[in-house]
Structure 1
Amino acid sequence: MLLFMFVFVVALNRCCINGENIEYEYDRVIKLAGQPINKNISQFSGYITVNESHGRALFYWFFPAQSQPINNPLLLWLNGGPGCSSIGYGAAVELGPLRVGKNGANLEFNPHSWNKEANLLFVESPIGVGFSYTNTSSDFALIDDEFVAEDTYNFLVNWLNKFPHFKNHDFFISGESYAGHYVPQLAELIYDRNNNRNKYPYINLKGFIVGNPETNDYFDYKGLLEYAWSHSVISDQDYDNAVKSCDFMIENWSTACVNAMTIVFNRYKEIDIYDIYAPSCRLNITSSFTYDMATEIYDFSNTKAQTSRMWGRMKVGPGGYDPCYSKYAEAYFNKIEVQKALHVTSGRVKWTVCNDSVFRTYNYTVFSVLPIYKKLIKGGLKIWMYSGDADGRVPVIGTRYCVEAMGLTIKKPWTSWFYNNQVAGRVVEYQGLTLVTIRGAGHLVPLNKPNEALALIHAYLSNHPLSTRR
């Protein structure tokens, strides 16, 4: 009886202080396996229900800012795929304060973490990705961009109810790859519902920033083809054949186009399409994730909607970095002690960095998000796009086409920006949007160029411009 009373009092104290609900303390992560012992890292993880009747819940991992979290903005990060985990990539490989070490044996402190600049929130979305789940199997047949935006919106509303002290913080959304769809569509949903405060809670959305983002199918695939040719991945004959055979404006490619683009993608089999100058991972680690990028990208069938948008498994590794990070992440997050520490439901879960089933069954319904950009630019949101210029999958050429198609007025022309007295990339500022390139980075910019990526997010959040002088 005394033990029961002690536990009850402790729980009561943990839940409520001066009448304030601090339910989030139940999600505090005390320590993870292999975590650096000399670093005090505040972190929380767990589930947020997004649809109670269907039993849908999204998994999150949250790191308050390293200093003055009460004064810093809240930054949500989303990965793409569709089907790839923001825990496995964004948090544990790219920009979180704890990165998975070699072979998944431990965690290493990341001195370039973006929680130096913001309170950093990662969510695994949609359901079926990572630890996120649904109790209604028919939900998986419904997943498309609108479904993802609605669930992520509900996640955010309910997360802010659990962490109410962040409700009034400036809020920004970030992400990369197919999150080029997720991010602006979530921003639009928040923007629209903020205009109906009688029905929806207000979220203090200020803007969004996306990296190597899929934006418009026509420009993205036109850019992909031109990039492959201009960077000596394909021959003149391959390029001419694809140009003659393909009309990227239509949803369903002709058989001739499918055959031509199959040749283009096949040329990437020997190198990493996501970082064309980087070594590929040759490590053979047993993984629960069984398909590879080659199988996904090069196995075309009859319809473009089911085949040509296949993103495959993002395996990027720059010179000076181990290209096998995604394999290490799978090894680490499948440890039972790690899952327990992260408050994963139902004991052990087979975790994969990307979910093949989500990828294969995703319903692609949005050809272009450029109309959303135009709308939100008029709405006054702060919008940046950035692009690692060594990415062959969502190349900078296509992103430039997308931006130019909006016909925005140039405020500051295309110029170099610098980090450590070296050219870090180029920057051009339009009326309502800024485009930044990162020299030598692939698809995962914060992994490839961590210093430059940290300088980028600092400039974006702080309103201090990137240095355009040595």
Structure 2
Amino acid sequence: MSAWSWDFVIFVLISVQCSLTLSDSDPIAQQKLDQVKDLPGQNFNVEFEHYAGYVTVNQESGRALFYWLTEAVEDPASKPLVLWLNGGPGCSSIAYGMAEELGPFHVQKDGKSLYLNPYSWNNGGMANLLFLDSPVGVGYSYSNTTSDIYNNGDKRTAADSLEFLLNWIERFPEYKGRDFYITGESYAGHYVPQLSQAIVRHNKANVESPINLKGYMVGNALIDDYSDHIGRYEYMWASGLISDQTYKKLNKVCSNESFFNPAQQCVEITDIAYQEMGNIDFYSIFTPTCTTNGITKRLMRRWHKVQQSYDPCTQQHSLVYFNSPEVQNALHVYQSNNTSRRWEICSDAVEMYWKDSPTSMLDLYHELISSGLRIWVYSGDTDGVIPVTSTHYSIDALNLTTINPWHAWYEDGQVAGRTQTYEGLTYVTVRGAGHEVPLHKPKQALTLIKSFLAGTSMAPSEQVIKSKTSASEKLQTFII
């Protein structure tokens, strides 16, 4: 059972009923009610509007998804809408995307105050950011039918997310027909292309659809189980994390296993691999782990940079902040006075009872490439969970034609990563970033999203191009 008691699922019924009735009868009025004025611990002014609240996706069972919209800093009416999804399955987009990655509001060490993220993706007026806790049971999202929490899966998540978007745009009609992009990371490597497919098919059947999907981008994404497995083991071995013997056994025993239900023999050899690696953050293999007592395994896999110093215990701060009644009130989170509901970063119950998860997204990629969507895949190259080698294997399996070959791209005169452009897909790596690229390398991630939205490649700098010949000559001289 999740740490959240399921009393948590039952909100103050009168408040919820009133809210849903108002939303159904007058969506524009509900938009105004969703506007967030000030957040607890916010000792700075913001130059953008933001909104938070619920959108019902199933009236019969009472499923409602929580969203948080932060408009672009400059001229939001002319900027695209970018949806961000975290994975898990069962992890909150508020916990990760908003509070420690690409969102404007990040939580300080005291768990009570915020600071403004200068590298937020809504900064510079680049995009309007929409964070969604999906499916029900994740973050603040809930259902009045308890069994819904135990019946999540890929198919229903995509269907509910589509329903959310259609209903949300009724509340925010200014986004009808606006350029729309979907982004996400990790298990959102399933969510993002599946929701994209649902939208593409919905739009074909509904000419007047308000969703103008232009493309999607996923980072360190679960794409293909086989490729992800063999790429992970290769990365672990090549990075010196595991022994030759364990590497060979992993490939022999686990390469064809499902991520959700591996055979016992695979579980046993995987445990040996973790023992060999030691107490490291597998999501970012070169950064420190959180050593605070009482933190769950997930919490020990994250780190954060606050005021020029690393803080590997960021999620502990978010747990304090988003469980605050004052914060929940400011974000229009309704809950009864007698509930013991606890906000979670990730829901063990959602993950444990997950119903369906295809072993590969490769067929979806082919379908969506042929539909003309702009598709980018990026990868932090110090992530051990879904490493660059896994993504290389997945992209190679698509058998796409190369347009621009592999080359370095630069930030502030330094190599920031590598990239290759294919017919229908762009692949970008981010040097020194772990599983959460916007957390580990925020400036480079901002450059990445700017290039994605503009549809321009991560080209090498002019200075690097000019010096290419001389650098090559120096290398040859050194080798001789």
Q: Normalising TM by the smaller chain, what interval?
A: 0.7 to 0.9
Offset of residue 243 of structure 1: 2.4
- Check conservation: 2:437, 2:445, Cα contact below 8 A: yes
Which residue matches 2:266?
257
- Matched with 2:226 is 218
- CA drift at 1:128: 0.5
Alignment of 1:180-259 (within 5 A): 180-197=189-206, 201-248=209-256, 253-259=262-268
| SS of the residue 1:386 aligns to | strand
Normalising by the residue count of structure 2, what TM-score does the alignment of the two structures yield?
A: 0.86
Cα offset, 1:420, TM superposition: 0.5
Tell me which amino acid in the other structure corresponds to 2:374.
Answer: K
Question: Does residue 1:383 correspond to 2:375, yes or no?
Answer: yes
Counterparts in 2 of 1:22-421, with a 5 A limit? 22-116=29-123, 117-197=126-206, 201-248=209-256, 253-284=262-293, 291-293=296-298, 314-317=301-304, 320-347=309-336, 349-421=341-413
Letter in 1 for 2:167: N
In 2: Cα distance, 1:30 partner to 1:38 partner = 11
Distance 1:217 1:443, change over 3 A: same
Q: How big is each residue's C-alpha offset from its partner over 1:204-249, in whole Å with a ceiling of 9 and x where there is no partner?
A: 0000000000011101011111111000110112112222333426
| 8 Å contact kept, 1:388–1:441 | yes
The 3-state SS of whatever aligns with 1:149 is: helix
Which residue type is aligned with residue 36 of structure 1?
N
> Structure 1, residues 257-283: CA drift from partner, whole Å, max 9, x if none?
332222123334410000000000112
Equivalent of residue 438 in structure 2, options 436, 446, 468: 446
1:62, 1:121 within 8 Å by CA — same for their partners in 2?
yes
CA contact (8 A) 2:379 2:387 kept: yes
Provide the rounded CA distance (Å) in 1 between the counterparts of 2:194 and 2:411. 32
Residue number in structure 2 paired with 1:10: none
Identity of aligned residues (%): 45
Q: What residue ranges of structure 1 are gaps of 5+ in the alignment? A: 1-13, 294-311
The 3-state SS of whatever aligns with 2:385 is: coil
Provide the rounded CA distance (Å) in 2 between the counterparts of 1:173 and 1:20.
Answer: 23
Indicate conservation of the 8 Å contact 1:97/1:110, yes or no.
yes
Secondary structure of the structure 1 residue equivalent to 2:359: coil
Superposition deviation, residue 326 in structure 1: 1.0
Q: Is the 8 A contact 1:184 1:373 kept in 2?
A: yes
For structure 1, which segment, 204-213 or 21-30, has the greater mean C-alpha deviation from structure 2 after superposition? 21-30
Contact conserved, 1:387 with 1:395, CA < 8 A, in 2? yes
Q: Answer whether contact 1:408 1:431 (CA < 8 A) is retained.
A: yes
Q: List, as ranges, runs of 4+ consecutive aligned residues in structure 1 with deviation greater than 6 Å.
A: none
Picking from 428, 435, 438, the partner of 1:436 is: 428
Partner Cα separation in structure 2 for residue 382 and residue 423 of structure 1: 25
Taking structure 1 as the reference length, what is the TM-score of the superposition? 0.87
User: For the Cα contact (< 8 Å) 1:247–1:253, is it kept in 2?
Assistant: no
Distance 1:253 1:179 in 2: 20
- CA–CA separation in structure 2 for the residues paired with 1:253 and 1:91: 32
State the 1:421 CA deviation.
0.4
SS at match of 2:168: helix
Measured on the aligned residues, the alpha-carbon RMSD in Å equals 2.1
Count how many residue pairs are aligned between Structure 1 and Structure 2: 431
Q: Which moved more, 1:250-259 or 1:447-456?
A: 250-259
Secondary structure of 1:104's match?
A: coil
Structure 2 unpaired stretches of 5+: 1-21, 465-480
Question: Quick check: 2:302–2:312 contact (8 Å CA) kept in 1?
Answer: yes
The alignment status of 1:463 with 2:455, answered yes or no, reads yes
Question: Partner letter of residue 439 of structure 2?
Answer: L
Moved more, 128-137 or 344-353: 344-353
Q: Is the 8 A contact 2:48 2:72 kept in 1?
A: no
Give the residue type in structure 1 aligned to 2:137: G
